[in-house]
């Protein structure tokens, strides 16, 4: 059975700490259903766009939205089909995960004890189904959802130079089977879900089990691993966007591991890849967290004022108080140093009139807190 080799470095620990903090805030943020639906739809669009763009699909975000809405777009049939296919892959993952197990509560330890609900198994047939959807109407029917039976090579799309030679075709079934045995083992369940997803991503890219569509299938199954282990994080995020925005680093990091001199897959050290993978999810969730925090603040303010009519300065003041509990004269002068004291004092007085904040203490030593 496959056993991954990696080291838990300070970089990995730092990224996972950031992921956990962002996850807890996002999952506990007070958002109304309409906003949650909007965030999920935006994440779907970003995932579909960047997940296909990194493979060479030329459609921009606006064109992707149009395709998903059923509108006509001037583009190659294959490019349009890739967009539709990847959206169907995401729908498949949703269907597989809905109702199969209870989601882990925010902050719960990632290890599953005997008293907790064990995530549903992810099997080879799930990978084959994902691949079939990925290449529907693109590859021949006898290659869609079927392991390759010929040798393939990975080339640099710009130079045409061979950058990686995957395992021989006669090894694909055995390597894939060994990997899935590990994925559903107690050993796999004992490691952090983000690491399990990162390992899944790398192993499938390395094995390259299909004629085409390997990258999309690998990224999709990695997401499926995250979701199945309680890390869907409301499906607000898109790792594909992180990969696509610096595709050179993405492929370089994968290649760095694949080019190691190792006799077996289990001997390949995945540390550098897992550092990159964890960093990517941490950065993406930090970006989502900022949007969620801002919207959560807006919702809380709306509940107090009926509608939000605040200047940019006032928003900064309230956000500061929300984050740190209070703001003093010295602190607001530092926060809004380009404005006069009179201007900021008028803003603070207006916020008091709106019932959002209150003043505590004397004039010189006064602080402002949320009401």
Same domain membership, residue 349 and residue 217: no
Q: What CATH number corresponds to the domain at position 334?
A: 1.10.10.10
**216 annotated among ligand-binding-site residues:** yes
Instruction: Tell me which residue range forms the domain holding 194.
Output: 10-294
Pick 80 or 345 by higher pLDDT: 80
pLDDT for 288: 93
Tens of pLDDT, residue by residue over 328-365, are 888 888 888 889 989 999 999 988 887 788 888 876 77
pLDDT for 110: 42
Same domain membership, residue 192 and residue 96: yes
Query: Is residue 148 a contact partner of residue 135, using CB atoms and an 8 Å limit?
Result: no
Q: How far apart are CA 370 and CA 358, in angstroms?
A: 6
- Res. 63: pLDDT tops 80: yes
Same domain membership, residue 191 and residue 109: yes
**218 annotated among ligand-binding-site residues:** yes
Same domain membership, residue 80 and residue 20: yes
**28 annotated among ligand-binding-site residues:** no
Same domain membership, residue 86 and residue 195: yes
Instruction: Give how far Cα 204 sits from Cα of 156, 163, 197, 217, 311, Å.
Output: 19, 17, 11, 8, 50
CA atoms within 13 A on the CB side of 154: 21
**213 annotated among ligand-binding-site residues:** yes
Domain boundary among 294, 325, 347: 294
Tens of pLDDT, residue by residue over 255-282, are 999 989 988 999 999 999 999 999 999 9
Q: What is the pTM of this model?
A: 0.79
pLDDT for 102: 39
Decide if 301 is inside a domain: no
Domain boundary among 261, 294, 327: 294
Same domain membership, residue 56 and residue 172: yes
- Res. 111: pLDDT tops 60: no
**219 annotated among ligand-binding-site residues:** yes
Same domain membership, residue 286 and residue 316: no
Residue 173 in 3-state DSSP? helix
Decide if 141 is inside a domain: yes
Decide if 124 is inside a domain: yes
Cβ neighbours of 13 (radius 10 Å): 11
Tens of pLDDT, residue by residue over 3-41, are 999 999 999 999 999 999 999 989 988 776 777 888 899
Domain boundary among 241, 262, 294: 294
Q: What CATH number corresponds to the domain at position 202?
A: 1.10.3290.10
Decide if 3 is inside a domain: no
Decide if 5 is inside a domain: no
Return the bridge partners of 269, or none. 5
**286 annotated among ligand-binding-site residues:** no
Same domain membership, residue 317 and residue 283: no
Give the total number of structural domains in the chain: 2
Q: How far apart are CA 94 and CA 90, in angstroms?
A: 6
For residues 281-286, give the mean pLDDT: 96
- Res. 106: pLDDT tops 60: no
Cβ neighbours of 87 (radius 10 Å): 20
Same domain membership, residue 198 and residue 57: yes
Same domain membership, residue 313 and residue 279: no
Residue 328 in 3-state DSSP? strand
Pick 103 or 285 by higher pLDDT: 285
Decide if 324 is inside a domain: yes
Decide if 213 is inside a domain: yes
Decide if 122 is inside a domain: yes
Residue 301: closest CA among 324, 319, 320: 319
Contacts of 311 by beta carbon, 8 Å cutoff, 6+ apart: 347
By annotation, the residues acting in catalysis are: 208
Same domain membership, residue 215 and residue 82: yes
Q: How far apart are CA 242 and CA 283, in angstroms?
A: 8
Tens of pLDDT, residue by residue over 149-186, are 999 988 765 567 787 899 999 999 999 999 999 999 99
Same domain membership, residue 102 and residue 225: yes
């Amino acid at each position: 059975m496959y056993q991954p080799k990696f080291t838990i470095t300070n970089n990995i620990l730092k990224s996972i700490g950031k992921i956990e903090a962002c996850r807890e805030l996002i999952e506990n943020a007070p958002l109304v259903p309409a906003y949650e639906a909007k965030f999920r739809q935006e994440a779907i669009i970003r995932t579909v766009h960047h997940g296909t763009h990194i493979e060479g699909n030329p459609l921009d975000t606006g064109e992707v939205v149009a395709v998903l809405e059923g509108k006509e777009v001037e583009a190659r049939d294959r490019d349009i089909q890739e967009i539709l296919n990847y959206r169907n892959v995401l729908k498949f993952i949703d269907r597989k995960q809905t109702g199969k197990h209870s989601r882990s509560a925010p902050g719960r330890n990632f290890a599953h004890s005997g008293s907790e609900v064990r995530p549903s198994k992810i099997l080879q047939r799930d990978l084959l189904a994902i691949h079939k959807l990925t290449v529907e109407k693109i590859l021949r029917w006898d290659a869609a959802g079927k392991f390759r039976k010929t040798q393939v090579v990975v080339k640099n799309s710009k130079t045409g130079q061979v950058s990686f030679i995957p395992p021989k075709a006669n090894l694909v079934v055995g390597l894939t089977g060994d990997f899935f045995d590990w994925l559903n083992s107690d050993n796999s369940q004992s490691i952090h879900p983000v690491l399990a997803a990162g390992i899944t991503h790398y192993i499938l890219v390395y094995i390259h089990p299909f004629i085409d569509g390997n990258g999309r299938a690998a990224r999709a199954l990695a997401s499926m691993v995250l979701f199945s282990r309680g890390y869907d994080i409301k499906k607000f995020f898109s790792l594909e966007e992180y990969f696509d925005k610096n595709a050179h680093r993405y492929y370089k990091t994968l290649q760095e591991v694949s080019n190691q001199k190792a006799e077996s897959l289990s001997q390949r050290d995945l540390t550098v890849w897992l550092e990159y993978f964890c960093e990517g999810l941490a950065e993406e969730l930090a970006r989502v967290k900022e949007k969620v925090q801002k919207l959560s603040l807006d919702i809380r303010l709306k509940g107090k004022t009926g509608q939000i009519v605040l200047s940019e300065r006032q928003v900064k003041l309230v956000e500061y108080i929300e984050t740190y509990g209070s703001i003093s004269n010295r602190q607001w002068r530092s926060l809004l140093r380009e404005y006069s004291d009179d201007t900021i004092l008028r803003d603070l007085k207006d916020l008091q009139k709106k019932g959002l904040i209150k003043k505590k203490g004397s004039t010189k030593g006064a602080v402002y807190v949320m009401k």
